Amino acid sequence: MSYDAVVIGGGVVGVATAYELVWLGVKTILIERQDVGRATDAGIISVGEYPNHPDPYYRFVALAELH
More confident: 51 or 8? 8
Confidence of residue 12 (pLDDT cuts 50, 70, 90): confident
Pick the more confident residue, 4 or 57: 4
Q: How many CA atoms lie within 13 A of 20 on its CB side?
A: 7
Please check the confidence at residue 51 and state whether its pLDDT lies above 60. Answer: no
The pLDDT of residue 45 is 55
Give the number of C-alpha atoms closer than 13 A to the C-alpha of residue 39, restricted to the C-beta side: 7
